[in-house]
Structure 1
Amino acid sequence: MVITGASSGIGRAAAREFAGRGDRLVLAARCPATLAQVRDECRAAGAAVLAVPVDVTTPGAVAELADAAVAEFGDIDVWVHTAAVMAYGRFDELPAPVFEQVVRTDLLAAAEVARVALRRFRAVSAGTLILTGSVLGHITAPYMSGYAAAKWGLQGLARTLQQEARETPGVRICLINPGSVDTPIYRQAANYLGRVGRPPPPIATARRAARAIVHCADHPRREVSIGRLNVVMRFGFTVLPGLYDVLVGPLMRLAGLSNQPVASHDGTVFAPNPDGEAVRGGWLPGLPQLVRAVSGATATAGSAVLRRLR
């Protein structure tokens, strides 16, 4: 299993899931230090792991990664591509280099991964390519022009590859389309909007997306949607476009942006931020926080009941 974008979010969660099954892993990401942490996590779970620091936007880097994987393990059965960056801002206020790098990372690098992987898969008539898209490959939202443009392009690319793969039995292309997921990408995003972005509810866990990826590795599916409202949003965007456009701006400002102010910055668009890389983004409470919250709410309710009884 080759996983590009393995140092954070869905990619890191997928690495853990594959490692728990004992799969042989080739992990790739930009930050050597964080990648080493993921490698150690997976080895502790019993997996054989090769970690290869790589920037998938660098010319020739993806082909070199494939060569390293084959040299270490002899073949590639599944390639999972999760590497992505994000930027917030009105399109005309977003620096052109930032917009272009988002598209380069989220679409053109994915295309290069597909190119390298499919050439190897076709040579042996076997292999599964799993690309990570987004519900924003089917709809749009303001202030995320680069990300939406890239994911729409990825949707078209994946569909085309699926059509062409019909000519090569044994080669499968899957597209995972999450909605909101609890990962660090929102805080790691470039921001020229003045407010920190956040995933609008309902929010799925990265592990849920990772499990969908693992399932596709065993039982390939053309497209998997992750998010309870994805179908509703796609319906509104397609069938009621006028109403959708009226509502999406206010809803984005209410649910997709926090009230936390932030100065303009490039986030991780051009370089990684090791301190911000993790599986979870902190948008969903962990079990200890949830227990404390429930306990606190129960105690408060109990006190209120006692006061009324007195």
Structure 2
Amino acid sequence: MKASLKPLASQVVVITGATSGIGLTTARMAAAEGAALVLAARDGAALRQLAAELEAGGADVLTVATDVGVRTEVEQLGQAAIARFGRIDTWVNNAGISMFGRHEEVSEEDGQRLFQTNFWGVVHGSLEALRQMRDRGGALINLGSELSDCAVPLQGMYAASKHAVKGFTDSLRMEIERDRIPISVTLIKPAAIDTMFTAHARNYLPHEPQVPPPVYAPELVARAILHAASHRRRDIYVGGASRLMSLGNFHLPRLFDRLAEATMFRLQQSDRPALPDRRDALHASGGNALQQRSGLQQQPVCERSPYTSLSLRAGPLMTALLWGGAAYAAYAACTAVAGTRARSAS
């Protein structure tokens, strides 16, 4: 049985990680479209502030302070949504965190906490969404990353968690479809996004971390999430760079390894020394609540993605053509770089 997804204005939408970045942008955009919202994050004060803002604009909002890494708290989130609205139409597993550092430097405690949020938070949310939407149907939307399909040095634990999210999401989708449960399951794979991502990340580097270009606006991800709330989609790549990374890593893995080794140690570190008293959000909610963007990008932020916009509107044939064009572009770019490096070495 295929999921029959409602117009967004008629939906009750659960969003985790709702007080900054992509989650905050999605909550504001969904409220503007008329959706009723159930918003979750660890910071209860920030949630109350956000609820007041959205309710002033006429939105119907419930907030539930939730650590997605704790299954009982996620279950309470689902139960609170049902108690208030009687149903859930879309569940967005957005909460996530990163850390920058070499594997041999990252503590086991920090690695486990990252997985507790990024992976187990998605597992907890997905299973609660399945339990609450099994009969009525709806949309389950999980936030992966371009690093769901490839990897980079210095963010190895984050990449590993996003690979795990992809494996879990894809296998859960198969089980749901096999049982003919009317739930659409979508994995969103953003490229680098201008959010509080680096400010909230645990840092082991000698310099403050940064995301490598190209960097896209969080509004692009929010639009993709809300599109998936009312349209059945298996995967959505946000930013042409995300699709190029995925294709390039699949078709030319060793070349992309070499490119990452040559560039990503430099591109993921700014020229600012690491702050000795920086406050991250790995183990507890950090600062910068209700901030969508970092304001720290030294390069322009891409406010549009022609690839993503067209892929959301395109049918299967057009999407296949887009992917073929992207694959060719990735191949041409990589072979050009490889040729330049070979000439330089000779």
- TM-score tier by shorter-chain length is 0.7 to 0.9
Q: Work out which of the residue numbers 154, 158, 182 in structure 2 matches 1:147.
A: 158
* Cα deviation, residue 226, structure 1: 0.5
Where does 1:131-280 land on structure 2 (aligned, <5 Å)?
Answer: 131-166=142-177, 167-263=179-275, 267-275=280-288, 278-280=291-293
Aligned to 2:64: 52
Letter in 1 for 2:149: H
Aligned to 2:125: 113
Residues 279 and 286, structure 2, Cα contact 8 Å, conserved in 1: no
* Cα deviation, residue 193, structure 1: 1.4
Structure 1 Cα separation of the partners of residues 287 and 275 of structure 2: 20
Provide the TM-score with structure 1 as the length reference.
0.88
Aligned to 2:137: 126
Structure 2 Cα separation of the partners of residues 278 and 250 of structure 1: 33
Letter in 2 for 1:156: G
* Cα deviation, residue 190, structure 1: 0.0
Letter in 1 for 2:215: I
Structure 2 Cα separation of the partners of residues 45 and 285 of structure 1: 33
Structure 1 Cα separation of the partners of residues 275 and 197 of structure 2: 17
Letter in 2 for 1:239: H
Residues 93 and 121, structure 2, Cα contact 8 Å, conserved in 1: no
Structure 2 Cα separation of the partners of residues 119 and 41 of structure 1: 31
Residues 87 and 189, structure 1, Cα contact 8 Å, conserved in 2: yes
**1:227-279 alpha-carbon deviations (Å, 9 max, x no partner):** 12122222332222222122202321232221111157672110111335511
**1:178-224 alpha-carbon deviations (Å, 9 max, x no partner):** 01001001121000112222121111111110011111111121110
Letter in 1 for 2:69: T
**1:150-201 alpha-carbon deviations (Å, 9 max, x no partner):** 1000001111111112122421111111010010011210001122221211
Structure 1 Cα separation of the partners of residues 299 and 160 of structure 2: 33
Structure 2 Cα separation of the partners of residues 157 and 59 of structure 1: 16
Aligned to 1:290: none
SS of residue matched to 1:79: strand
**1:120-179 alpha-carbon deviations (Å, 9 max, x no partner):** 211x14121111100000000001111111100000111111111212242111111101
SS of residue matched to 2:64: strand
Residues 31 and 54, structure 2, Cα contact 8 Å, conserved in 1: yes
Letter in 2 for 1:23: A
* Unpaired segments ≥5 residues, structure 2: 1-12, 301-346
Letter in 2 for 1:148: A
